[in-house]
Structure 1
Amino acid sequence: MHVMKSMFQRKPPILSLRPEFHSQCSLTNPQVVCNSSSTREEFMMKILDRRWTLKNPDTKVHQINVSRLQTQPTSKLLGNVSFSNNSHPSLGENLTEWHNDQSSFYIVRDDLLHPLVNGNKARKLDALLPLIEDHLGTDVVTCGGCQSAHTAAVAVSCAERGLKAHLLLRGEQPQILTGYNLISMLYGNVTYVPRSVYAKREEMLTSHADSIPGTIIRLDDLLKSSFTNHKSTKSNLDQPSNSKKIVIINEGAGDAIALPGLIRLVKYLSQDHILGKSQPIKIVVDSGTGTTAVGLGIGALCLGLPWEITSVMLADTIEGYRKHEEHLISELCGSSGFPIIMHSGLVHWVEREHPRKFGNVLKGEIEACQQIAKETGVLVDPIYTLAAWELASQLSQQEKKGGAKVVMLHTGGTLGMFGLAQRYKSYF
């Protein structure tokens, strides 16, 4: 069973954050090669004409106002600023208007999609789960950390569809189950795996899938079939069978089959009454595997949008992220038969402002999350979404009148705060 090697290596990043922007998703970018607009439109039709997990791609968009305080310089993580939330901002044509001199950025509230399956986890599973159903899949095998939002999302989504989720969690079972760890246990079948075994993810996942009597369905086969039989339903493929059919999903769902859900989100946001197609946009997103950022970049490219995708690297080196980007593009185009994107360069990868080993929390970050929650009602976490919030806040203060608008994609994951409270008691 071939499984793409995970890019989620947790190597400490090496670059410094550069808040300035360089266009990486322009149709004239020499790193990106596109075919004609008609070919891109045909590709988008193939991507979007399918069954989805989410009944519709709708999401809320809020506006975060950033105010600089007239006080002495502070050592606070977010600096001398305060925030406020406009939950009903003017969008569409009014997006281009400059209402006042106050800095602001927009935030796509994908954290509100589902109580337990939200953010980029919901988007990554958007196209995948119907394909598993179409191919009569019965079991799903995946893995993640003890407080993995991904494994919890897979467990809940599978349970809602009558599928059995097998979750391989790294390390030992905590004394008290909380957050995503608790959700994974309630909805899925959890096995705790020693770190030495977990380090070889591909071998671990394949071995566990082999231990389940049945047939393994390859993810790349599902992806290819989605471009040939993308309208198929369970009734089309229903054949009597007593054997189980097992699908392996890599850590973080960092495979090309996760990309259509992000492309669908871009299509939704580019509607005239939301962000539109003509306003320059700077999309900011935090990245574990980097799959979300690549999906956004492909969507913006194929729709011809003047959007720039910047991704804050959290779990790998820039070389690792670029390699993963190239792999995803190659896999998607190879499976679809549309050689639209020939090279990488869709995403501008940047380091987080406060580098650290992945999973660690630094002093002041919990207080920063608390400040944001109290002032805006938006909950971010210090591992992932706080990094995107910091960069979006910085870029919004550099925004010029009539220039690009800054938009942060909230990737969810906030239940992870429960696990952090267990590990970092002195910070809470």
Structure 2
Amino acid sequence: MFEEIYSPVQKITLPPFNNLFVKRDDLIDPYISGNKWRKLKYILARAKAENKTHLVTFGGAYSNHLVATAAAAARSGLKSTAFVRGEEVKNEMLLLCSLFGMQLIFTNRESYRDKHKLFELHFATNDEAYFIDEGGASPEATIGCAQIISELIENYDHIFCAAGTGTTAAGLLKGIQQQGLNTKLHIIPVLKGGSFIKDEIAKYTPLSDHLALHLDYHFGGYAKTTPQLIDFIKTFTAQTGLLLDPVYTAKMCFAIADLQKKGFIGEDDKILAIHTGGLIGLFGMEDKF
């Protein structure tokens, strides 16, 4: 299922930028979208090597990771189960999970904090079950995300990416280091208090001067928005024809525009934004628009 694939790089016309490009990982697959495809590629390979046939993972009620895991399992002939954080709800994302055959176990927030304990409680005697951490966080995931860098045929002054768990960021930094590039990697945490991302990255690859963390673009926290961010999405999409999701990519693109205004990046600098997909999350936020 996870055959080799290379997402295109698209130049975006957006004043005042002269060299703004987007790595269109959102085009890889509508459900196993963007960095989710990158992360799951080697996770599923390891599960298969260990003869595991039941993927067990974790996420919130609007998690793109859950949808991606459910879709990947269905296409691979595997079972899937997700521990969903919080009270039982119904929404578009969980509907897709269910249609792909995923069993949903709604879990209170206190119990959810110890994911390994939850896994052991339900699957300790199931030799076919394979633990996948929230967001796919794992060494295997960083290998897949590092390939984003190895696919690039041009060099860039700056690469931008939004971050939740830090796994994709770690893979990008690893890729930059492996390729010996001088590129600056700008990570936009989408959670309030996102400084922990640096520690998460350090679990997978050494920190270096390539990395810049920008903590002021969370717009209130994970899955939080403001009228300013929603207005930015509307204007950006109308100008470029490129859809953004409010949770990740919109915050990243807002940061790029704001950092240029503040003089941190130049109008002629060559910039690559990683579009990590997740666009189906738009359908859970109709009321914001």
Higher relative contact order (CA 8 A, sep 6+): 1
Q: For residues 158-307 of structure 1, what are the structure 2 equivalents within 5 Å?
A: 158-175=73-90, 177-178=91-92, 180-187=93-100, 188-210=102-124, 213-215=125-127, 245-269=128-152, 271=153, 275=154, 279-307=155-183
1:414 correspondence with 2:279: yes
Distance 1:291 1:67, change over 3 A: same
* Letter aligned with residue 281 of structure 2: G
Distance 1:391 1:171, change over 3 A: same
TM-superposed CA distance for 1:363, in Å, is 1.8
Q: For residues 239-388 of structure 1, what are the structure 2 equivalents within 5 Å?
A: 245-269=128-152, 271=153, 275=154, 279-315=155-191, 317-329=193-205, 341=206, 346-353=210-217, 355-388=219-252
CA–CA distance in structure 1, aligned partners of residues 139 and 148 of structure 2: 15
Question: 2:65 is paired with a residue of what secondary structure?
Answer: helix
TM-superposed CA distance for 1:344, in Å, is 5.5
* Letter aligned with residue 406 of structure 1: I
Distance 1:354 1:158, change over 3 A: closer
RMSD, matched Cα? 2.2
Q: How many residues align?
A: 286
Q: Which runs of 5+ in 1 are unaligned?
A: 1-52, 69-101, 216-244, 330-340
* Letter aligned with residue 186 of structure 2: T
Give the fraction of aligned pairs with identical amino acids, expressed as a percent: 26
Distance 1:363 1:395, change over 3 A: closer
TM-superposed CA distance for 1:62, in Å, is 1.1
Counterpart for residue 232 of structure 1? none
| 128, 136, 157: which one aligns with 2:43 | 128
Q: Which runs of 5+ in 2 are unaligned?
A: none
TM-superposed CA distance for 1:257, in Å, is 1.5
1:140 correspondence with 2:55: yes
TM-superposed CA distance for 1:199, in Å, is 3.0
TM-superposed CA distance for 1:54, in Å, is 3.0
Checking the alignment, whether the CA contact within 8 Å between 1:104 and 1:396 is kept in structure 2 is no
| 54, 60, 65: which one aligns with 2:13 | 65
Distance 1:130 1:405, change over 3 A: same
CA–CA distance in structure 2, aligned partners of residues 246 and 353 of structure 1: 38
Question: 1:328 is paired with a residue of what secondary structure?
Answer: coil
TM-superposed CA distance for 1:364, in Å, is 3.1
- 1:329-375 deviation per Cα after TM superposition (whole angstroms, max 9, x unaligned): 3xxxxxxxxxxx5x565532111335413222212322322222222
TM-superposed CA distance for 1:109, in Å, is 0.7
TM-score by structure 1 length?
Answer: 0.62
TM-score by structure 2 length?
Answer: 0.90
CA–CA distance in structure 1, aligned partners of residues 11 and 49 of structure 2: 39
Mark the structure with the bigger radius of gyration.
1
Checking the alignment, whether the CA contact within 8 Å between 2:229 and 2:254 is kept in structure 1 is no
Checking the alignment, whether the CA contact within 8 Å between 2:187 and 2:211 is kept in structure 1 is yes
- 1:403-428 deviation per Cα after TM superposition (whole angstroms, max 9, x unaligned): 6411100011111112223xxx3x33
- 1:61-82 deviation per Cα after TM superposition (whole angstroms, max 9, x unaligned): 11112226xxxxxxxxxxxxxx
Checking the alignment, whether the CA contact within 8 Å between 2:185 and 2:211 is kept in structure 1 is yes
* Letter aligned with residue 2 of structure 2: L
Question: 1:306 is paired with a residue of what secondary structure?
Answer: coil
